[in-house]
Every structure is written in structure tokens, then in C-alpha cells.
Amino acid sequence: MAEWFGSTVVATGRLPLFCFFVAFVVGFLLIRMSVRMIRAGVRWWPGNLRPGGLHIHHVVFGVGLMLVGGVAALLIPDRQGVPIAVAAGLFGLGAALVLDEFALILHLRDVYWTEQGRASVDAVFVAVALTGLLLTGFRPFGWDWFQTAGPGGWQTGAQAGLLVLVLVNLAGSVVSLLKGKIWTGLAGVFLPAVSVVAAVRLAVPGSPWARWRYPADSAKLREAQRRDLRIRRPLIKAKIRVQELIAGRHDLEPPADPAAVGVAEDPAVLTRAS
């Protein structure tokens, strides 16, 4: 096992990424266990930090850990030793705490256990998937060429053609994301043609592309809605069941939006627990 780890992870320069990945996954599972224990009202489990009545969210600790780990990683020259492994682990742990409250950052409200709070779990799942692909050796399409081409590396016809393919593939990923196809858009960064195929297909109803390009009662919008109900919705329900098994149910009513009810968006108010 040690020999495999040394040849597959350490020798290939993936030790920092491996430590980041492990710390990220472990950190997410631990914080989700903690918040679920708090929500269940387990008496012997430590509760939320509320000095002076102010709820200190764990995203605050996550930002601090990311700063410490990130700055340390910039200062450590040895990319295969214990110090860089610890720095990457700290960064991964901090990233897990931050992304676990991604929805709070996005909405500037404590929507942790509401439907909107699923955005945090989605962000974590995306981060785990992308980091896992990178850890197993996958790289974005055209990455190796950009690493070796150097200045003027697209001067020959073949190189120029490859550059065009890379740009088309990236454009397909951007369009796929705008069409609401998150997973295929991200997968297309690594697997050529996937994002292009997704980009030419109909957008997800409610996505930015659908709002911009599909008029109300148009044939495209009706067909997109039909496909969404027949294919995408069952997949989303299955994904939610897996997420709830790991992260808990997001079934609370969202708190009132201060801006909507005319309350000043005081940062001190927004950071308090709802």
C-alpha cells in the first residue's frame, strides 16, 4: 500500500491534491454530522457558538483555515513533504466549511436547512467530483498541449486546429452551464464533445439561456418543459435522496428576506441565526 501511494500519489506530484481531497471530504462529513446533531437537539453535543448572542457560522472558521493553508502552501518549496501535506489539508478542511455554507454566502441569509440550502450540498458535490477527477489523472481537454506548447505553440496547422478545438469545447461548456446543465458542462471540460452536444440541445427551463432565448408559450419552451419532467426531474429526485442521506433534510421555511420587508441589510443582523 505504501509503495502504491508513493508511486501513484507522491511521485506524480499529487500529494497536496490528495491531502486537500481527503481533508475536504472528511471535513464536510464531520461538519454535517455536527449540524445534524445540533438540529436533533442532542444534549451532550456542543451547540452553536453564540458569543454575545451572535451566531458564529462555521464559514468564518473555514475562511481562516483557507487563508492559513493557502499562504503556507505558497511559502513551502518542498511539494512532497509533510509541511505541504498539512497546508493542503488545512486548505481542504477550510474549503469544506466554506462550501457547506455556500448558500448563506449566496443569499446573505441563514437558509441552511431550507430548500435554498441545497445549493451548499450541490457545491460540495461538484467540488468533490472535480477534485476526484483531477486526483485520478484527468486534466481539462488541451491541458497537456498548453503545458508543452509554450509561446507561439499554435503556429503550425495542427497546433492551430487543436487550439480551435479547445476553444470550441470551452465555449460549449460555458453554453451548457448557461443552459442549466451543470454536470455535463463541467464534464465537457475534461471530455471533448460532451459539452458541445449538451450545448446544442434544449436548455433547462428556468436557466438563464431559457429565459433569454425561449419566449413564453414557445414550442422550444414547451419541449424543454416536457423533457425536464420526463428525464431531468426523476434524476434530481434520486440525487436529492442521496444528498439527504448524507447531509440531512432541507425542509424548513426560508427566513424573511430583510430587503423584501424593508429591513436594512445590516451585516450584524444578517450574520445572526434565524
Question: What pLDDT was estimated at residue 3?
Answer: 80
CB under 8 A, 24+ apart: contacts of 103-112: 104/57, 104/59, 105/59, 108/265, 108/270, 109/254, 109/255, 109/257, 109/258, 109/270, 109/274, 110/55, 110/57, 110/255, 110/272, 110/273, 110/274, 111/254, 111/255, 112/35
252: three-class secondary structure by DSSP: strand
Question: What pLDDT was estimated at residue 241?
Answer: 93
Cβ pair 50, 56 in contact under 8 A: yes
Predicted confidence band of residue 265 (pLDDT cuts 50, 70, 90): very low
CB under 8 A, 24+ apart: contacts of 70-73: 73/16
CB atoms within 10 A of CB 120: 25
Block residue for cell numbers 445534524 = 36
pTM: 0.83
Which residues, including other chains, have CB under 8 Å from residue 60's CB and lie 6 or more apart?
none
Question: What pLDDT was estimated at residue 266?
Answer: 47
Rounded mean pLDDT, 147-160: 62
What's the length of the chain? 274
- Element (DSSP H or E) covering residue 162: helix 157-178
pLDDT in tens, 198-212: 999 999 999 999 999
- φ/ψ of residue 156, rounded to 5: -80, 165
pLDDT in tens, 12-23: 889 999 999 999
Predicted confidence band of residue 1 (pLDDT cuts 50, 70, 90): confident
Which of the two residues, 31 and 10, has the higher pLDDT score?
A: 31
pLDDT in tens, 74-125: 999 988 889 999 999 999 999 999 999 999 999 999 999 999 999 999 999 9
Question: What pLDDT was estimated at residue 259?
Answer: 58
Cβ pair 127, 95 in contact under 8 A: yes
pLDDT in tens, 13-62: 899 999 999 999 999 999 999 999 999 999 999 888 888 888 899 999 99
Of 181, 158, 132, the residue nearest 14 (C-alpha): 132
